[in-house]
Structure 1
Amino acid sequence: MKTPLRIAILQCDTPPPDVIAEYGKYDRIFTTLLETAAEAMGLSPKHDLELSAFDVVTAQEYPDIENIDAVLISGSKHNSFDNDPWILKLVDFTQKLLEQDRVRIIGVCFGHQILGRALGVKVGRSDNGWEISVLPVELTAKGKEIFQQDRLAIHQMHKDIVFEYPEDVEKLGGSPRCLVQGMYKQGKLISVQGHPEFNQGIVTHLVKMRASQGIFEDEQARDALERVGKPHDGVNIAKAFLRFLLED
């Protein structure tokens, strides 16, 4: 695929107001990540990336696939296994993308799970509980090749998982609480369960907010906040996304 890479960001949620005030909505958060990765690869964010955003929850807007090269499906507080009309519409759109051969798909957290659902495997609540804040992911041989390193550290914020790898999809890595941490199919899709777009500030806010709401227990929140400032590989993961799009 040649540049400019025309990437449509499907916004599957709206961050809390304090996060929006500092970092923007998911379109801006992902734009910051992808532009940083592009610069690190020697690309020009201005000339080599063409990013657009679509609200698939409230407005239920979608890009014309003739005008894009890739779709990035964002994370969300919503359940990928629910049957709300907008979720069913997103799954249907994803399945249509999988049936064609030009527009590629990037899935992040909820987007990773939507890909799993569209590919026909079970998604749902994990019996192993939450993964929160910076945690390691053990990579497969293919994962090491794709991410160009031996191990990943990535921000996590999920209790839902993809339970198994779909057929014809390559395994990228796993963790003790989530065996399906990343999926890849050349020329078709790449996904991660974690959040490469998150940073210390965003995750700190989310952890404190969810602790105050009673979603996280006090010890759970303390443990997560102890790891929130650890180095993570968000930019390197985004570079892998862009390399995936640039592959012939």
Structure 2
Amino acid sequence: MRPPLRIAILECDSPLGRTKEKYGGYGPLFKELLNKGVKQVVEHDGVDGVNVPELEIGWFDVVGQSDMYPDLEAWDAVLISGSKFNSYDNDAWILKLVEFTKKVLKQNRVRLIGVCFGHQIIGRALNVKVGRSDQGWEIAVTPIQLTPRGKEIFRLEELAIHQMHRDIVFEYPESVEALGHSDRCAVQGMYAKNRLITVQGHPEFTGIIVDELLDVRHDMGIFNDELYKSGKSRVMNHHDGVAISAAFIRFLLDE
């Protein structure tokens, strides 16, 4: 059996309400998702379970305890979570996160996964523009048109993924391959073999989680009635979070 695959989750935010009560933080939520990805790789890819390592997952609060970053020597991969914060801001903890991301990108062993805000942070670390989209919010289950590489990576013809963002990566860095786009966002995923994989959406989110976010943000006046109703109409649709997780696992196991 292979040694454990050690994944450090960088928690860039804290969940709300029922999600916080159930998971405590985004680290445990990603742990659940990644273990489902391992199960799919074993069951659907024809891979012998003996050849798929167990996951050893830890998480680090890089907002509230920004001095507590993982030691890269002790981990095989780093996953940067989503966040309500802006990836293009210059708060001290965000600048520190960008510098840490650059440090990961400069070495060749530890691999990098980015989700939503994490996807944008990786784009920023690769020196492309990140910022507020003039297309507005993209929310709830959204279809993603995949590139040929995206179809190969996710093993799907089209991807359905929960979205909760209005900030975007504006262009692909020269060093990565495009994975897909949507009507409102041209850069939905980035890939560099044995180096990084990102998605703009939230594979870790479920309909229940996003439904609560829709209610909270509507009550706060962030989402108007039209946007709220649109999100509500799609929030319980099928999404491919586990398939994305399986793609993350295959990326980490690729030699």
TM-score bracket, normalised by the shorter chain, equals: over 0.9
Return the offset for 1:39. Answer: 1.5
How do residues 130-141 of structure 1 correspond to structure 2 at under 5 angstroms? 130-141=137-148
1:102-130 Cα distance to aligned partner (Å, 9 max, x none): 00000000000000000000000000000
Read off the aligned partner of 1:4 and give its amino acid letter. P
Q: Could you state the TM-score of these two structures normalised by the residue count of structure 2?
A: 0.94
Query: Which structure 1 residue ranges, 4+ long, deviate > 2 Å from structure 2?
Result: none
1:217 pairs, out of 221, 224, 233, with 224
How many residues are aligned here?
246
2:106 pairs, out of 99, 109, 115, with 99
Return the offset for 1:41. Answer: 1.8
Alignment-derived partner of residue 58 in structure 2: 52
Query: Are the counterparts in 2 of residues 124 and 161 from structure 1 also a CA contact under 8 Å?
Result: yes
Read off the aligned partner of 2:142 and give its amino acid letter. L
Aligned equivalents of 1:117, 1:3: Cα separation in 2: 33
SS of aligned partner of 2:194: coil
1:199 pairs, out of 206, 220, 225, with 206
Aligned equivalents of 1:87, 1:214: Cα separation in 2: 26
Aligned equivalents of 2:20, 2:183: Cα separation in 1: 32
Aligned equivalents of 2:150, 2:19: Cα separation in 1: 31
Query: Are the counterparts in 2 of residues 3 and 49 from structure 1 also a CA contact under 8 Å?
Result: no
Return the offset for 1:22. Answer: 2.8
Alignment-derived partner of residue 33 in structure 1: 33
Read off the aligned partner of 2:115 and give its amino acid letter. V
Aligned equivalents of 1:221, 1:241: Cα separation in 2: 31
Q: Name structure 1 gaps, 5 residues minimum.
A: none
Q: Considering only aligned residues, what root-mean-square deviation do their CA atoms show, in Å? A: 1.3
1:194-214 Cα distance to aligned partner (Å, 9 max, x none): 000000110000000000000
SS of aligned partner of 2:227: helix
Query: Are the counterparts in 1 of residues 40 and 243 from structure 2 also a CA contact under 8 Å?
Result: no
Alignment-derived partner of residue 46 in structure 2: none
Alignment-derived partner of residue 168 in structure 1: 175
Aligned equivalents of 2:98, 2:129: Cα separation in 1: 13
Q: Name structure 2 gaps, 5 residues minimum.
A: 43-48
Read off the aligned partner of 1:9 and give its amino acid letter. I
SS of aligned partner of 2:238: coil
Q: Could you state the TM-score of these two structures normalised by the residue count of structure 1?
A: 0.97
Alignment-derived partner of residue 15 in structure 1: 15
Return the offset for 1:90. Answer: 0.3
1:158-197 Cα distance to aligned partner (Å, 9 max, x none): 0000000001200000011000000000010000000000
Alignment-derived partner of residue 237 in structure 1: 244
Return the offset for 1:24. Answer: 3.3
Return the offset for 1:16. Answer: 1.3
Read off the aligned partner of 2:151 and give its amino acid letter. K
Query: Are the counterparts in 2 of residues 112 and 192 from structure 1 also a CA contact under 8 Å?
Result: yes
Aligned equivalents of 1:39, 1:168: Cα separation in 2: 31
Change (3 A) 1:153 1:3: farther
